[in-house]
């Protein structure tokens, strides 16, 4: 999870993500470890990319805001597309074939007030598969990722029902601060 170059990866940043359930999440974690063994994966789609939050900001108040706002959003399905690569950063990612509109709506509604942050790149919902690569590495590993994705026989979609507010506490280490449920549709029985 990063806001890539320009925003930098510094400690004590915060983000909002939706973790991808197994077996799809486990496949993506294994793929990411195969491509970049030094990473510490936990497959997710990012709703709010990493951002600093002012130290005077009361995290409890901020989490209350997130909880209130996320309960207004109804769960939605995300379907994964193809393996692609961002040209400037050499990040290999899975595109989204469905769910982009809902993710953008969440981003637009939550990237406000104390959470407002201008990333160096426009918000582009995706699932990172590999990052921190040279251009040549990225080209080679993108081909490997395409082959693995082509051969994968499990589910290629998941439902976003919960969001996790996370904090970067050490290089490559994110800690969950809060798990936030989305609204349940009227008539839903659990």
Task: Give per-residue pLDDT as tens, 59-104.
Answer: 888 888 999 999 999 999 999 999 999 999 999 999 999 999 999 9
Considering the domain boundaries, does residue 186 fall inside one? no
CATH (domain of 130): 3.90.1140.10
Q: What is the pLDDT of residue 137?
A: 95
- Beta-carbon count within 10 A of 12 CB: 11
Considering the domain boundaries, does residue 172 fall inside one? yes
Upstream peptide bond of 187 is cis (omega within 30 degrees of 0): no
Q: How far apart are CA 91 and CA 85, in angstroms?
A: 6
Considering the domain boundaries, does residue 92 fall inside one? yes
Q: What is the pLDDT of residue 188?
A: 53
Q: How far apart are CA 165 and CA 47, in angstroms?
A: 10
- Residue 50 CB partners (closer than 8 Å, separation 6+): 1, 2, 3, 7, 9, 13, 14, 15, 168
């Amino acid at each position: 999870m990063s806001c890539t170059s320009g925003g930098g990866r510094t400690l004590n940043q915060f983000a909002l993500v939706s973790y991808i359930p197994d077996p799809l999440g486990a496949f993506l974690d294994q793929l990411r470890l195969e491509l970049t063994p030094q990473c510490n994966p936990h497959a997710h789609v990012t709703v709010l990319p990493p951002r600093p939050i002012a130290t005077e900001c009361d995290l409890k108040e901020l989490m209350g805001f997130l909880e209130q706002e996320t309960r207004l959003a109804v769960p939605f399905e995300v379907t994964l597309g193809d393996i692609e690569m961002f040209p400037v950063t050499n990040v290999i990612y899975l595109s989204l074939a469905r769910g982009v509109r809902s993710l953008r709506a969440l981003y637009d509604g939550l990237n406000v007030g104390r959470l407002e942050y201008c990333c160096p790149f426009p918000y582009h919902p995706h699932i990172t598969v590999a990052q921190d690569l040279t251009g040549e590495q990225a080209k080679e590993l993108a081909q490997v990722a395409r082959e693995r994705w082509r051969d994968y026989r499990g589910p290629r979609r998941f439902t976003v029902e919960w969001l996790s507010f996370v904090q970067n506490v050490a290089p490559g280490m994110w800690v969950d601060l809060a798990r936030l449920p989305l609204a349940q549709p009227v008539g839903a029985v659990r």
